[in-house]
């Protein structure tokens, strides 16, 4: 698949960031997102150190960050799944619109398409 062949294709992909308190819950969510085609790929980073204020106190915790790659068609379901399946009271769900290579964007779109 050459870049020129898909020159008119949409090159937007969405990156969704979220953090989890343990590797097991991050892995479970990542597997679910890919299995149900809400994401083409999910990377798990960590542990990372998060410092934040919660209920008036400074907190510092080790967390695992998901970097979810999805398409415009699957974005709403991806975010809804994160909100529903996340163990935190207030989950971090940050959506970034990014431009990717045409071939990669096409792959993301294909992987997140509903198939009968």
pLDDT, tens digit, 9 for 90 and up, residues 22-34: 999 999 999 999 9
Least Cα distance to 17 among 51, 47, 37, 45 occurs for: 45
pLDDT for residue 116: 47
The mean per-residue pLDDT over the stretch 74-83 comes to 97
CA distance 1 to 85: 36
* Sequence-distant (≥ 6) Cβ neighbours of residue 75 within 8 angstroms: 14, 16, 95
Burial zone of 105 (CB within 10 Å; 0-12 exposed, 13-18 middle, 19+ buried): buried
Q: Is the dihedral of CA 39, 41, 43, 44 positive or negative?
A: positive
Q: Residue 2: is its pLDDT beyond 90?
A: no
- Range 46-49 contact pairs with CB under 8 angstroms and sequence separation of 24 or more: 47/23, 48/19
Q: Residue 115: is its pLDDT beyond 90?
A: no
């Amino acid at each position: 698949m050459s870049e020129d062949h898909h020159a008119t294709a949409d090159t937007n992909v969405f990156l969704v960031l979220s953090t989890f308190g343990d590797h097991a819950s991050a892995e479970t969510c990542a597997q679910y997102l890919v299995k149900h085609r809400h994401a083409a790929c999910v990377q798990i980073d960590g542990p990372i150190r998060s410092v934040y204020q919660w209920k008036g106190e400074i907190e510092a915790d080790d967390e695992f960050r998901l970097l979810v790659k999805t398409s415009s068609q699957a974005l709403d379901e991806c975010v809804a799944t994160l909100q529903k399946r996340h163990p935190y009271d207030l989950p971090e769900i940050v959506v970034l619109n990014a431009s990717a290579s045409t071939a990669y964007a096409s792959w993301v779109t294909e992987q997140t398409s509903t198939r009968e």
